[in-house]
Amino acid sequence: MRSLVDSQTLEMRRKIRIIPVERAGRCAPVNEGIRLSRGQYFSVFDDDDLLLPEWVEHFRTGSRSFPGSVIHQYAVSQEWESLPSGSGQMLRAVSGLNNQFCKPFDMMLQARANSCPLMTLAFPSRLRNLEIFFDESLDVCEDWEYLMRTSAFLGVQDVKEPGAIYRMWKNAGNSHTVHDEQFWRSTEEKIRSRHDARPLMMGEGSVAEFVRIDRLKDAARYVFEPVLYPDRGSGFREEEADHRRLAMYLDDFSLVYDVDNVRRVRWDPVPADTVAVKELKLEAVDADGQVREAEVEWTNARLFPGFWFFDLPDPQMILKLPEHTKQLRISGRLQHHFTGSDMTVMRGRFGATAIRHKLKVRLHALKMRLRR
């Protein structure tokens, strides 16, 4: 170590101190370095990290723009391997650069797993003054735990430029090979429990992300299961039905059906539910790519300005297709959720008109049964 320091320039040697540390563990030398640091920020890197010339400058830029926050810059990753060479070892890169660590800090994703290598982070010296140090009881994930603990009240600001190369070793030992998978998983769960017990400071854009995630959860619950029944001369038969299954929540859908030599089809948007189909398009496409509109021959839905409202059992729509139709394209937006006032307006709108509509639908259903 001393010979390595002695090989540096005089200016560099004046900036380097070698501090003996008696305590064992990965975090002990890091904490000693933090205690003895003198700058406004401190950063930590491993001996196999490659720091680019802009590494310090990126932290300086971030600390001037967002003083007091944790500063996060990007890094690229690269696969390396160690090979024997004479009496020593030769190191070489075996892949191109990967941008997997070139992403803004995301508290919600970070709560699942660490995606910020330690050398991409600079911490304000106020943490040293508050005696907030790395947890020396941890053998792995200590950097993740420290970042989550400090970012919870300091916040994180991004400098969206790469300043380091994170080397991923293909044939060399590291903490992932020293400890087994169960040890890593148990440590990660312990750290998540700690995070869960603390309040978090969320960054800009977090509210929009919460809404997006909430909608994805709803999409998992509400499933769009449309069915198309082609009439090939013997009516709408289940044996010829085309069933689809899509997760939907106030989102666009687009369905394409092959309907060669078919003039009539029945489309059921959902098996049995109250649903609105907005901006519905029914497009019949022939072999030359010409698009014409399919005709709604009958439906038990009600047409409101801009959408069809299905509120009766067995929602369905019978379509008449132009001659020589090869494909039927059905697209629009599906809505499952309605407020009480929505339902009152839609079900009661036009008063007697709505009642006549229901009677007409029931009469048509009776005629269809009699034909069978």
pLDDT tens, 192-210? 888 888 877 776 777 777 7
Write down the pLDDT at residue 248.
55
Which is nearest to 70 in space by CA: 44, 47, 49, 51? 44
Answer yes or no: do 88 and 237 share one domain.
no
Residue 209 lies in a domain: no
pLDDT tens, 144-194? 999 999 998 898 999 999 999 999 888 866 665 677 888 888 998 899 888
Q: What is the mean pLDDT of residues 66-94?
A: 90
Answer yes or no: do 346 and 236 share one domain.
yes
Answer yes or no: do 51 and 119 share one domain.
yes
How distant, in Å, are the alpha carbons of 310, 316, 351, 361, 368 from that of 356? 16, 18, 9, 9, 18
**Average pLDDT value for the chain:** 84
pLDDT tens, 86-134? 878 889 998 888 888 999 998 888 887 888 999 999 999 999 999 999 9
pLDDT tens, 25-63? 889 999 999 999 989 999 999 888 999 999 999 999 999
Q: Give the residue numbers spanning the domain of 74.
A: 24-202
User: Higher confidence at residue 369 or residue 182?
Assistant: 182
Residue 324 lies in a domain: yes
User: pTM for this structure?
Assistant: 0.57
Residue 13 lies in a domain: no
Question: Quick check: 356 pLDDT over 60?
Answer: no
Write down the pLDDT at residue 169.
87
Q: How far apart are CA 76 and CA 333, in angstroms?
A: 40
Kind of pairing between the strands at 275-286 and 307-310 = antiparallel
Tokens representing 274 are 């109250």
CB atoms under 10 Å from CB of 220, counted, come to: 10
Residue 170 lies in a domain: yes
Residue 259 lies in a domain: yes
State how many domains the chain has.
2
Residue 195 lies in a domain: yes
pLDDT tens, 237-251? 999 999 998 765 546
Residue 251 sits in a domain whose CATH number is 2.60.120
- Report residue 345's pLDDT band, with 50, 70 and 90 as the boundaries: low
% of the chain residues with pLDDT over 90? 44
Residue 276 lies in a domain: yes
Q: How far apart are CA 161 and CA 314, in angstroms?
A: 56
Give the 3-state secondary structure of 339-360: CHHHHHHHHHCCCHHHHHHHHH
Residues 6+ apart with CB under 8 A from 156: 69, 70, 71, 72, 105, 107, 147, 203
Answer yes or no: do 228 and 198 share one domain.
no
Write down the pLDDT at residue 63.
94
Q: How far apart are CA 250 and CA 278, in angstroms?
A: 9
Q: How far apart are CA 58 and CA 73, in angstroms?
A: 7
Answer yes or no: do 233 and 196 share one domain.
no
Answer yes or no: do 365 and 240 share one domain.
yes
> Are the C-beta atoms of residues 51 and 163 closer than 8 Å to each other?
yes
